Amino acid sequence: MTVTFVYFILPTILLLLGLPIFVVLILTSTAAILWVAHVPMQVIQTNMFGSLNNFPLLAVPFFVFAGEIMGRGGIANRVVAWVVSIIGGVRGSLAVTTVASSELFGAMAHTSVGTVVAIGRLLFPSLTKHGYGERFAVSLITSSGAVAVIIPPSISMILYALTAQVSAIKLFTAGILPSLLIGLIDAAYVMIYARIKAVPLSSPARWKNVWASTKEASWAIGTIVVIFGGIYGGVFTPTEAAGVAVVYSLFVAMVVYREIGLRELWQVIVSSVYLIAQILIIVTGAGVYSWLMTTSGIPQRLIDTITTMHLPHWQTLLFVNAGLLVAGSFLEPPAAILILTPLLLPVVQAAGIDALHFGIIMAVNLSIGLYMPPFGLNLFAAKAIFNAPMGTIYRGVLPFVAINFAALLIITYVPAISTVLLTMGH
């Protein structure tokens, strides 16, 4: 009972009291050392600093910095304008543009809230102006931005690869089709919505406009080419790709588009440092907590319990999904991954589930959790950005929670969606 209280009940109480997640992790770890684990107190600093001593982790600050540059340096604006010029003329095209822009910018910015902020500022006025209600527009942007957790090369995937000891490049590859599937399902839903609500048609796409926007956005689109081409072409590792993304986006924003000067660059650096510090301090706290929980034997006891229940494969996955959805609505994806991967990965592997496939399942769950009422992080970001009542946002996101839960079940029970690209060429 003491073990259950320290590792599970105590952190839940601390979270409900509103303490920051890293404080919760450190306090829980301290309590575990004092009452349960019986190991030296030096374990805390050893594991805190040890969890940061990991070369692939360098990708996180670099990708955060690159994402901030892209959001403020005119890159996001041009990518969105390019997508608008291509998709125009179809009923629901502006809503589909929001989904497509979120996928593209999510692949460049790597953070969900950053995608919500960037796409929201650019497209929310147009959505409300062209016949979409405020509730629908806010909920569409809030849910679409969460795809940044799934679409490679996301920060959450990097952290999962580190924690689960799997190849980051293979995990990125596994995430391509699931992220596109979610985008297609969302796009189909918003087109049906636009037809039912008789949203007015926007101006049709014209080759002249497409060519002009492509020419204007070519340097911005080059960001995706550099990152993905470099990683999958074997030119550099994901960590090196993050560094290259910073250099490239700085060049585009400061030299080509000239939308960031030295004053703006300092503001970008400060906001990036703030976000990087938030992520890395969670990494340190989770490093201690995960080590203590793993050495306590809790994962093995959980495996033994589930084994004795003789659950079918599909039920094990359903229970894991339910737990991840609940956790995702309370915890930010980096924290949830660092805390839950050491606990759940042995359980699903014992059930015969591949670690890469489970990484995608976890990412999709946590992305839905970001906009699942009542505590999803994107919900509060949307309230801050759009100043919409929480009740309005809650009602608006429910259809997106439902359709993306359906996508989650497809991805969960059809593992080929995640693994087929990995097996090609073998």
What is the rounded distance in angstroms from the CA atom of residue 398 to the CA atom of residue 392?
11
358: pLDDT confidence band, cut at 50, 70 and 90?
very high
The tokens 């929670």 sit on which residue? 401
Give the dihedral of Cα atoms 257, 258, 262, 266; nearest 10 deg. Answer: -30
C-alpha 3: how far from its chain's center? 31
Query: DSSP secondary structure string, 260-313?
Result: --HHHHHHHHHHHHHHHHHHHHHHHHHHHHHHHHHHTTHHHHHHHHHHHHT--H
Contacting residues for 367 by C-beta, under 8 A, at least 6 apart? 112, 146, 147, 148, 149, 150, 182, 328, 333, 404
Spatial contact of 405 and 189, defined as CB atoms under 8 Å apart: no
Spatial contact of 231 and 238, defined as CB atoms under 8 Å apart: yes
pLDDT of 202 above 70: no
Sign of CA dihedral 228, 230, 232, 236: negative
Contacting residues for 362 by C-beta, under 8 A, at least 6 apart? 160, 324, 336, 337, 340, 341, 344
Least-confidence region, from 42-46, 77-81, 142-146, 149-153: 77-81
DSSP 8-state secondary structure symbol assigned to residue 54: -
What is the rounded distance in angstroms from the CA atom of residue 170 to the CA atom of residue 393?
36
Residue 385, pLDDT score: 80
Contacting residues for 354 by C-beta, under 8 A, at least 6 apart? 415, 419
Among candidates 333, 319, 344, which has minimal Cα distance to 377? Answer: 333
Residue 59, pLDDT score: 84
What is the rounded distance in angstroms from the CA atom of residue 1 to the CA atom of residue 140?
44
Residue 228, pLDDT score: 82
Residue 1, pLDDT score: 55
pLDDT of 425 above 70: no
What is the rounded distance in angstroms from the CA atom of residue 78 to the CA atom of residue 214?
9
Residue 352, pLDDT score: 86
414: pLDDT confidence band, cut at 50, 70 and 90?
very high
What is the rounded distance in angstroms from the CA atom of residue 246 to the CA atom of residue 251?
9
What confidence tens digit (pLDDT) does each residue in 335-350 have?
889 888 988 898 888 8
Contacting residues for 135 by C-beta, under 8 A, at least 6 apart? 388, 392, 393, 395, 396
Burial class (CB in 10 A: 0-12, 13-18, 19+), 311: middle
What is the rounded distance in angstroms from the CA atom of residue 311 to the CA atom of residue 379?
35
pLDDT of 76 above 80: no
What confidence tens digit (pLDDT) does each residue in 86-109 have?
776 677 788 888 898 888 888 877
What is the rounded distance in angstroms from the CA atom of residue 314 to the CA atom of residue 321?
10
Output the pTM of the full model: 0.84
Sign of CA dihedral 359, 365, 370, 376: negative
What is the rounded distance in angstroms from the CA atom of residue 76 to the CA atom of residue 70?
6
Residue 91, pLDDT score: 75
Identity (one letter) of the amino acid at 28?
T
Spatial contact of 378 and 168, defined as CB atoms under 8 Å apart: no
Residue 36, pLDDT score: 83
Query: DSSP secondary structure string, 73-136?
Result: TTHHHHHHHHHHHHHTTSTTHHHHHHHHHHHHHHHHH--HHHHHHHHHHHHHHHHHHTT--HHH
Residue 400, pLDDT score: 94
Residue 363, pLDDT score: 94
Among candidates 171, 145, 116, 100, which has minimal Cα distance to 362? Answer: 171
Cα first-last separation, the chain: 49
What is the rounded distance in angstroms from the CA atom of residue 421 to the CA atom of residue 109?
24
Tokens representing 74 are: 């005119």
Among candidates 348, 350, 327, 335, which has minimal Cα distance to 290? Answer: 335
C-alpha 27: how far from its chain's center? 27
> What rounded mean pLDDT belongs to the chain?
85
What confidence tens digit (pLDDT) does each residue in 255-295 have?
998 888 888 899 999 988 988 888 888 888 888 888 887 78
More confident residue, 302 or 397: 397
3 state SS of 57: helix
Residue 357, pLDDT score: 95
